[in-house]
Amino acid sequence: MKISADTNVLLHAAFPEDPVQTAVAAEALQSAEVVAICTTCLAEFVWVMSRSYRRQGQEIAGALRTLIADSKVVVDRPAVEAGLAALDAGGDFADGVIAFEGRRMGGDVFVSFDRDAVKHLESIGAPATLLR
């Protein structure tokens, strides 16, 4: 079976808090022929890990890399790598993905009122401008 995994499935597989749901999530992921994970799902995964589970950037990046390492996992690799680069730089995964996808769609520069987002994106070479 080819599946599109929801964020809660990924979270149960990554954080075994509920033994029954963890086993079901693991079985679904392991038995699937293809596991499609959209960038929105990964951004939500990062948000839940940082806000609810209080995990830090490096641990979150490691969990993401583990999730996407399996050859049967299909993600938008360039967008995910952009998000991971932002996360590795101390920024936000979603901001990295947004900046990357915006450029891919024809935007020249990421603009934001978020000073930290602009600073972190600039640190990885992404064109970014702080709006005032």
Span 81-112, pLDDT tens digits? 999 999 999 999 999 999 999 999 999 999 99
Given 51, 75, 99, the domain boundary residue is 75
pLDDT at 16 over 90: no
In a domain, 82, yes or no: no
- Are 22 and 48 in the same domain? yes
The overall pTM is greater than 0.85: yes
Whole-number pLDDT of residue 17: 85
Q: Where are the alpha helices (DSSP H) in the chain?
A: 7-14, 19-31, 39-51, 57-69, 77-88, 93-104, 115-123
| Host domain of residue 114 | 88-132
For the chain, what is the domain count? 2
> Last residue of a domain, which of 47, 75, 103?
75
- Domain co-membership, 108 together with 132: yes
